[in-house]
Amino acid sequence: MRLQRQAGAALAVGLVLLTLVTLLGLAAAGNAHVARLLAQNQSFRENAATAASAGIEMAIRAIVTSSTPSAVPARLTGQVPGTGDQFEVRLDSLGEELALPQEPGEKLAGLHFGILSTGHGARRAIDRQRAVVMWVTEGGETSGRADCVPLAQRHCHRRGDLERLSWQQISLE
């Protein structure tokens, strides 16, 4: 009679242990699923950041390939090749810098542009970046002149130069 009671206790302890091991396995599987989702979301955010960066690069290309400053488009949209990620860009003229260091006899001006690029990735991932660039173009009669020879030859500006003045990621909060 005593053996039958012990056999029943072993069965109950075995079932409890089996239940605990099953619950631990389910918890580990749930944690692995959450970790995979977090990694995917991080990947989508990185893709959105890549799209925003691509938008800034496309805006810079639009600036330097424009025939005149007035031909620079105010808005650009596009898609990153090979992905479904998209960008929207707004370009704003921020003004002129008239006294650029330049070769004697030149009349150059630096046109400042603000670029705001928003990248869109999968699952509504969004990244926003801002850049400020200066495009050196032909200045008018009002252009000041700051000769750079012989003081700082390497800082002489030339027509068509583009300088990246700032680049930052903007918080979406």
Q: Count Cβ atoms below 10 Å from residue 141 Cβ, excluding itself.
A: 5
Residues belonging to the chain: 173
Task: Convert the pLDDT of each residue in 121-170 to its tens digit.
Answer: 888 889 999 999 999 998 876 666 666 765 555 678 888 899 999 999 88
* Domain total of the chain: 1
Mean pLDDT computed over every residue of the chain: 85
In a domain, 13, yes or no: no
Residue 25 counted as domain residue? no
User: Model pTM greater than 0.85?
Assistant: no
The mean pLDDT value for 71-95 works out to 92
- Please check whether residue 7 lies inside any domain of the structure: no
Average pLDDT (93-97) is 91
Q: Would you say residue 108 lies in a domain?
A: yes
Tell me the residue range of the domain where 118 lies: 31-170
Which residues are within 8 A (CB) of 102 and not within 5 positions of it... i.e. 6 or more apart? Answer: 108, 145, 146, 147, 148, 156, 157, 158
Decide if 16 is inside a domain.
no
Q: Establish if 23 belongs to a structural domain.
A: no
Is residue 106 assigned to a domain?
yes
Comparison of pLDDT for 104 and 166, the residue scoring more: 166
DSSP 96-156: EE---EE-TT--EEEEEEEEEEEEE-GGG-EEEEEEEEEEEEE--TT---EE-TTT-GGG-
Give yes or no for residue 105 having a pLDDT over 80: no
pLDDT tens-digit profile of 33-66? 888 887 777 888 888 999 999 999 999 999 999 9
Q: Which residues pair with 75 in a beta bridge?
A: 90
Residue 66 falls inside a structural domain: yes
Q: How confident is the model at residue 4 (pLDDT cuts 50, 70, 90)?
A: low
